[in-house]
Amino acid sequence: MHDLLLRSCIIKLMDSPYISLYRKYRPQTFAELAGEEHVTKTLVNAIKQGRVSHAYLFAGPRGTGKTSTAKILAKAMNCEKGPTPEPDNTCPSCLEISAGSAVDVLEIDAASNRGIDEIRELRDKVHFAPTRGRYKVYIIDEVHMLTTEAFNALLKMLEEPPAHAIFVLATTEPHKVLPTILSRCQRFDFRRIGTSDIIRRLEHIAESEGIEIDQGALVLIASHSQGSLRDAISDIDQLMAYCGKTITMDDVAGALGLVPYEQLADFADLIVECRPADALRMIAGLVDSGQDLREFVGGLLGHFRNLFVIKSTGAEDILDLPEEHLSRLRNQADAISVPALDHALALLSEAHNEMRFSSNPRLALEVVTVKVVRSGGAEAVEERHQRKSRKEEAAAKMPAERVKAKAAGAGGKETEAKVAEAGVPQGTGTAGNGEEAVVKTPAERADAETRPAEMAPAAGAREKAGGKGADSEQEAAEVPEGLSPAKAHRAWKPMLQAVKKRRVPTYSLLLECEPRTRDDVLVLRFNKRAAFHKGEVEKAANMRIVEEAAEEVFGTKVRIECELADEDPAKLEEAPPELLPETDMPSHHIKKVMHEKFGATMVEEITNEE
Ligand SMILES: [Zn+2]
């Protein structure tokens, strides 16, 4: 008796090895297929009308239900109660197909051995009638991997398929499938499954399995799966092994090395609000908690990509995110300028690549953070200080304020230097140092929150008319209202690119000049020997292009004048050398070296006016 019990137990154990959740919850009916209604509707109609094709191509990313659909189709055609769009899943035929043991349904994985033998065998047997069901269904997965020989054999079968054969070719790379094959198949494109569909499916599984899983965890898993339901379900499997039947967002973040959305959004807030010190503190916290920093930067990159989509297109639907995420993204997109966003994306992407090889990912993250803040923040801080100097005319005359105003231009550099030195910078509020220029006081933060538009680079320029009254003041020379030397230099490279985009010869002419400012005029200063270039640029056709480019970059019309280097240089304002951008022309430093070493004639161009 005991023996018998034991045997049955063993048999039971052997019979039911652990079945992965994905296999267990593989969709068994067309209705259960998540998010591919455009496919299932057509197939259901074809089955109802008895117009099922002999060859289908299921194209789409992995884990989107191609093989599952093929199997449901096989069941629909061979179900004892069929052909029916709703196979019963209880008859022997359905059960065999579900278990993968049906003799009439053959699955071939072209990826594993490129299919030569299978296709040959298939070709030899395809004409025999099905053993049990009505149809022989051949599911060829990753069909693009077949060898040429196998492809040709397949093509022969598709040219004259027996009445009882149905071919389902599945592929993640339809462009690699020969056109002669494509032309013989009815094609269905499987889409990535939407986050909300995946979440719904996961909720169903969790409920059936008695798993407690919070919403944040579900969102995180769903977005990590990038539209692959199979990956999402496998993640749940993995998480159950890791933390049992209660799964929280922190578990998900920890086990899968993912970054919770809130963390990314909080960090992005710090960047958008120009709070580098707080951002670095947060990085320290991430390091303490053992967060994978490269994963974090990857998450940030995704977050800024979402900001980019919202800012530049407003197409929130393609982001496929829950409303609370979207509303935070909207606020951040409002608060950051387009150039700052472009720059942030470029920097983060670069950092993400570099971190793969970096032995000190923390430093890499800190540096990129400060750089990103600087690119988005310096502009805003400059605008703010300009506005301040207008508002507080009296206060602006105080020496401390002048130091501050100067720091607004060069502060970013100083802050970065500090970071490199100290690892983590000091707190906010120390008046007069470089950090003051970038880090907002709480009052300023509140100010910025009510005025998100001031992040836009053009804001200061637009307001310049109102600021002209300050011209007589000494401060006005240091922080000109519309067009500061720093601003002109920063804008120069984008402006060159904007000209190049319109007309390359005009761009070449501009390589011979340097940007300066006089009051609100952008002065293109040509070397004495470049009088020809100056004359060309001054021609109406070229000047129009330059003006257009300037308007694009500055966001407002800018008056432009050309002059030769010896035309009263004393009037021109020089930007501090560290602010000079890299341009396509030799840098100031190179010119300086040229002069010092070789006595080159450009010396008057780099006269330090201090
Ligand atoms: Zn059935």
Model pLDDT for residues 461-498, shown as the tens digit of each residue: 333 333 333 343 333 333 335 677 778 878 888 888 88
Asked if 151 and 165 sit in the same domain, the reply is yes
CA of 87 to the centre of ligand 1 (A): 5
CA of 84 to the centre of ligand 1 (A): 9
CA of 81 to the centre of ligand 1 (A): 6
CA of 18 to the centre of ligand 1 (A): 25
The residue among 189, 217, 246 that closes a domain is 189
Asked if 351 and 252 sit in the same domain, the reply is no
Asked if 155 and 217 sit in the same domain, the reply is no
Measure CA 161 to chain center.
Answer: 45
CA of 93 to the centre of ligand 1 (A): 6
Asked if 393 and 451 sit in the same domain, the reply is yes
Looking up residue 516, the CATH number of its domain turns out to be 3.30.300
CA of 31 to the centre of ligand 1 (A): 15
Poorest-pLDDT segment among 93-107, 318-332, 529-543, 571-585: 571-585
Q: Check pLDDT > 80 for residue 126.
A: yes
pLDDT tens-digit readout, 409-460: 444 344 333 333 333 333 333 333 333 333 333 444 444 433 333 333 433 3
Instruction: Return the CA Rg of the chain.
Output: 33
Asked if 310 and 457 sit in the same domain, the reply is yes
CA of 330 to the centre of ligand 1 (A): 50
For the record, the structure tokens of 509 come out as 């002419």
Q: What is the pLDDT of residue 386?
A: 52
pLDDT tens-digit readout, 249-290: 888 887 777 788 888 999 999 998 888 899 999 999 988 887
CA of 89 to the centre of ligand 1 (A): 5
Q: Check pLDDT > 90 for residue 5.
A: no
CA of 132 to the centre of ligand 1 (A): 12
Looking up residue 331, the CATH number of its domain turns out to be 1.20.272.10
Q: What is the pLDDT of residue 609?
A: 38
CA of 94 to the centre of ligand 1 (A): 4
Task: Report the C-alpha gap between 270 and 95 in whole angstroms.
Answer: 56
Q: What letter does residue 319 receive in the DSSP assignment?
A: G
pLDDT tens-digit readout, 196-253: 888 988 999 999 989 999 888 898 888 888 888 888 999 898 888 888 888 888 888 8
Q: Is 299 helix (H, G, I), strand (E, B) or coil?
A: helix
Regarding beta strands 55-59 and 186-189, do their DSSP bridges make them parallel or antiparallel, or are they unpaired? Answer: parallel
Asked if 496 and 602 sit in the same domain, the reply is yes
Can you list the pairs that 334-337 forms with residues at least 24 positions away whose Cβ atoms lie under 8 Å?
Answer: 334/452, 335/272, 335/273, 335/448, 335/452, 335/455, 336/272, 336/307, 336/311, 336/376, 336/455, 337/376, 337/379, 337/380, 337/455, 337/456, 337/457
CA of 86 to the centre of ligand 1 (A): 9
CA of 224 to the centre of ligand 1 (A): 36
CA of 28 to the centre of ligand 1 (A): 11
Report the pLDDT averaged over residues 113-128: 77
Percent of the chain with pLDDT over 70: 72
Task: Report the C-alpha gap between 141 and 231 in whole angstroms.
Answer: 18
Q: What is the pLDDT of residue 502?
A: 81
* 220, 223, 229, 234 alpha-carbon torsion, rounded to 10°: -40
CA of 75 to the centre of ligand 1 (A): 6
Range of the domain at 310: 260-463
CA of 130 to the centre of ligand 1 (A): 16
CA of 95 to the centre of ligand 1 (A): 7
Q: Is 355 helix (H, G, I), strand (E, B) or coil?
A: helix
CA of 33 to the centre of ligand 1 (A): 18
Per the structure, how many domains does the chain have? 4
Asked if 53 and 117 sit in the same domain, the reply is yes
Task: Report the C-alpha gap between 281 and 297 in whole angstroms.
Answer: 16
CA of 163 to the centre of ligand 1 (A): 21
Q: What is the pLDDT of residue 407?
A: 43
CA of 78 to the centre of ligand 1 (A): 7
Q: Tell me, yes or no, whether 12 lies in a domain.
A: no
The residue among 208, 234, 256 that closes a domain is 256
Task: Report the C-alpha gap between 25 and 239 in whole angstroms.
Answer: 16
